[in-house]
Amino acid sequence: METTLIILKPDAVQRGLMGRIITRFEDKGLQIVGAKVMQISQDLASKHYEDHKGKPFYEGLVNFMTGSPVLALAIRGCGAIAISRNMMGATFGSKADPGTIRGDFGVSNSFNLIHGSDSPEAATRELGLFFGAGEILDWDRSIEGWVYDLSSGTAE
């Protein structure tokens, strides 16, 4: 099982899309194991986006992410990182396929609704930035055997 960071960005929060987007992850069978509505500080945004420092869009991105509350989610499941990124769609809403989050809800090339970790290493780093000790829970869902084929003893 993987755990990944998903951030519903300020445009998703301001547009009232949180519930509809969370529903997509739950409908897919992924488990929400942490959630927090928060205002990202300049310091946290700078740490989170440090790989983009020096790029022309960096300052605007930090200002956007700190301009309004976000919803940070820890989402767990078999292949959660790749599944979540596929569900998100292409970075720019204008180019994202219908059926993806960005394809269904976005048209802007600047405001793209959602962030998802792109690798297990990034997920570990990013989850550590947004969640403290005890804020990501391990809990058993009674539906697990209906989401995954567990007949071999491991989730498939």
Of 9, 48, 76, 115, the active-site residue reads 115
The whole-number pLDDT of residue 135 equals 97
Distances (CA, A) of 93 to 16, 85, 98, 125: 17, 14, 10, 26
DSSP 6: E
Measure the CA angle with vertex 54, ends 48 and 56; round to 5°: 100
* Third-level CATH fold of 2-147: Alpha-Beta Plaits (3.30.70)
115 labelled catalytic? yes
Residue 156 pLDDT > 80, yes or no? no
List pLDDT tens digits, range 92-129. 999 999 999 999 999 988 899 999 999 999 999 999 99
pTM equals 0.94
Residue 88 to residue 86: CA distance in whole angstroms: 5
Cβ neighbour number for residue 18 with a 10 Å cutoff: 16
Segments making up each domain of the chain, as ranges: 2-147
Q: What is the pLDDT averaged over residues 58-81? A: 96
Helix ranges (DSSP H) in the chain: 10-14, 18-28, 42-48, 58-66, 80-88, 101-105, 120-130, 144-147
